[in-house]
Amino acid sequence: MKKPFGKRRLFLLAFVWASVMLGVALVPGCYGDNCSGELKTYGVNAGEGRMVDENTWESNAIDGKWLAFPRARQYVFDLHELGDRQPTIVIPYLATAEEPIRLGTNFTIGGGNLSEILGVTRSSVAIRNGTCSDYFLRLVVIAAPRAPSLEAGAPDVHGSVNDAATNSGDAEAGP
């Protein structure tokens, strides 16, 4: 008569289970603390970001070194150079090389959890790499143009000169 479950089979099952558990423990993945990120502030110190024109700020030049954007890193970009204007367009570019233009590699606009935009204010943009993969980042932020000045003698948006300071306000006065 056969035993329903012998010692040999029990030992084999325990060995297989232990092997699978050991393999799971050794294979890297996004669990535990292996994808813990860090928070960095960028744009506060000299040389961190620049204005391309009066409405466009970039973290670094397209043909320069891009920012390290490792797994789960969060950046808060200081946009004080835009003044009190709200950013209207935020474009995160991602690459797998630090200098994609010089090396002739490609880059793309980040989306999804590759570049999670966490918040946009008048003075900052917060963005996070929500993956367990390492990239390099270039951020471009565009704000709406400043409202035209209506100081006396300054042209308005239609090119007319505002001469309110020289007008006496007398509607009947004329040529």
Whether the predicted pLDDT of 166 surpasses 60: no
Q: How confident is the model at residue 86 (pLDDT cuts 50, 70, 90)?
A: very high
Residue bearing the bigger pLDDT, 47 or 147: 47
Torsion of CA 148, 152, 154, 156, to 10 degrees: 50
Which carries the bigger pLDDT value, residue 161 or residue 57?
Answer: 57
With a cut of 60, say whether residue 168 has pLDDT above it.
no
Q: What is the pLDDT of residues 35-64, one digit of tens each?
A: 667 999 999 999 999 999 999 999 999 999
Cβ atoms of 109 and 72 closer than 8 Å: no
Q: Does the pLDDT value for residue 163 go beyond 90? A: no
Burial of 112 (0-12, 13-18, 19+ CB in 10 A): exposed
Contact 140, 87 (CB under 8 A): no
91-101: per-residue pLDDT in tens? Answer: 999 999 999 99
